[in-house]
Amino acid sequence: MSSKSRITRAFLNAKKLDLTGQSKYILFSDCHRGDNSFADDFAHNRKIFHFALSQYLQKDFTYIELGDGDELWENKFVNIFNANKDVYLLLKEFHQKNQLHFIWGNHDMDYKNPKKVAKNLNYYYDTIDGKDKELIKNASYSEAIRLEQKDGKSVFLLHGHQADWFNYVFWKLSKFLVKILWRPLQLIGIDDPTSPAKNFKELIKVESRLEEWIKNNNNQMIVTGHTHRPRFPSPNELPHFNDGSCVHPRCITGLEIENKEITLIKWHVITNENGTMQIVKTILEGPEAISQYI
């Protein structure tokens, strides 16, 4: 199956959520939540992510994670959970409000299997009282989501690895190579050459395939992750957005959708004049009316 066919299949089978003037969505991806070890790229941004998500919870946003949330290629989930328990308990609060939706990517492709989702996320073992407690029971995982208006026009959300032949078709081989080979080599600074986030030529190929699909499908607005490179086109360009990642060296990036407008934002740490450190949000691009893109 070609990348075009994979993307089209994801579009046709996508889960649908409403897009109205009252809708409030925050889109993050590529958290790669790990075990807090030397190879855990999420660890240095975990507090930023937790704070940002808590703000969106207070403001009644719906959280959509566009894939690669859990770094299942390198870690067992129990170790990921133990390192990020506070994050999962916060995600649980979104879930209890029916405002949590996950899309699976290549690094958490195991979540295509509902049994794997249930095993990892339905319950957790509380070491304080030695009991199993409910976590994110019946978590919603999809390959893609469409934020759809009443007129049928939509914003198409997916991870983006559908345009990455090696990391979609041979994801199990990629998983093996990362776990056995590239993870130890991170110690000496050698990156995984199969990852588009760390290989510029692969990044360009993935983006080109996605944009070719957009051209062949009435300039359908699309939002992806996978490449870790934020994208925010102007209204006269192809409507291909990317929310970036949560493993940038000093910040996390994402996309907000509110009042039918889209905004590229980053959360990062600043140091005030008195020496105190503070987590703040900065607008990078936008807001722009979604109507200009769909």
Alpha-carbon gap, residue 164 to 3, rounded angstroms: 7
Alpha-carbon gap, residue 231 to 169, rounded angstroms: 25
Other beta carbons within 10 angstroms of residue 41's beta carbon come to 21
> What value, to the nearest 5°, has the Cα angle with vertex 41 and ends 195 and 245?
65
How far does Cα 16 stand from its chain's mean position?
A: 17
pTM: 0.88
- As to burial, measured by CB atoms within 10 angstroms (0-12 exposed, 13-18 middle, 19+ buried), residue 98 is exposed
Short-list 92, 80, 91, 87, CA closest to 48: 87
Alpha-carbon gap, residue 246 to 41, rounded angstroms: 9
Cβ 56 vs Cβ 100: under 8 Å: no
- As to burial, measured by CB atoms within 10 angstroms (0-12 exposed, 13-18 middle, 19+ buried), residue 65 is buried
Query: What is the side-by-side order of every strand in the sheet holding 141-142?
Result: 141-142, 100-103, 62-66, 24-28, 251-258, 261-271, 277-289
Instruction: Report the CATH architecture of 3-292.
Output: 4-Layer Sandwich (3.60)
> What value, to the nearest 5°, has the Cα angle with vertex 178 and ends 76 and 180?
80
Alpha-carbon gap, residue 30 to 115, rounded angstroms: 22
Per-residue pLDDT of the chain (294 residues), as tens digits, is 677 899 999 999 999 999 999 999 999 999 999 999 877 889 999 999 999 999 999 999 999 999 999 999 889 999 999 999 999 999 999 999 999 999 999 989 899 999 999 999 999 988 888 889 999 999 999 999 999 999 999 999 999 988 875 555 444 556 555 655 555 545 445 455 445 555 455 667 888 999 999 999 999 999 999 999 999 999 999 999 999 999 999 999 999 999 999 999 999 999 998 999 999 999 999 999 999 999
**Domain parsing of the chain, residue ranges:** 3-292
